[in-house]
Amino acid sequence: LFFPEETICECSAFVDPGRRRQGVFRQLLDDVLDLVDDREKQTGSQIDFCFLIDERTPSAMAVMKALEAEYWYSEYTMVRPLSQEDADYRCGLQICRQEDGLYAAVLDGAAAGTCAILPGESGYYLYAFQIREDLRGQGYGRDFLLGMLALLAADRSAPRQVSLQVSGLNGAARSLYKKTGFRDAEALSYYLY
């Protein structure tokens, strides 16, 4: 179980194939729902209980159907290799490093957006990418994203791949990532129960 917010509980479950159809999942689910009910009483708020699953897994989909869980949305992990072309990109925004892993895009002396980078062995993880609301839809997001990729690509000794996660509910961000060369690597779906 994971509580990303006070009112949301994400659940991932796995039952060993040799123990399936023996009531193990049902008992565990009942215990977890009791725990969530107790938490609702303690906090005085209703908690949305959801399963996080890979829809390519037939057994998980069968469980969602049996529970009559309702599809909520999907979250995508997207990846993109870095190239020399990325290193050559010239960003129209000034990109400033704020603190360890956090960057800001500056336009006319004011913050236009932020982005965080977490380096890893297999590549960089990009998160918290955003453009100020009044600047959206004007190309600044694309420019900032390509500028960040240029910074990462310029370090030839660093990992050569970037990954990120984006909600299927955020169509504008997903479109931007696709247009700048990111591709879907994995999709996890949320089902409300």
Angle separating helix axes 140-154 and 171-179, nearest 10 degrees: 50
Q: What confidence score (pLDDT) does residue 20 get?
A: 87
What is the model's pTM?
0.79
Backbone angles phi, psi at 169, to 5 degrees: -80, -15
Q: What does pLDDT average to over the chain?
A: 93
Q: What confidence score (pLDDT) does residue 107 get?
A: 95
Residue 157 has pLDDT above 80, yes or no: no
Residue 159 has pLDDT above 70, yes or no: no
User: Tens digit of pLDDT for each residue in 22-81?
Assistant: 999 999 999 999 999 999 999 999 999 999 999 999 989 999 999 999 999 999 999 999
C-beta atoms surrounding 63 within 10 Å: 19
Residue 173 near residue 180, CB atoms below 8 Å: no
Of 183, 187, 140, whose CA–CA distance to 162 is shortest?
Answer: 183
Residue 14 has pLDDT above 90, yes or no: no
Of 48, 51, 38, 37, whose CA–CA distance to 8 is shortest?
Answer: 48
User: Tens digit of pLDDT for each residue in 166-186?
Assistant: 999 999 999 999 999 999 999
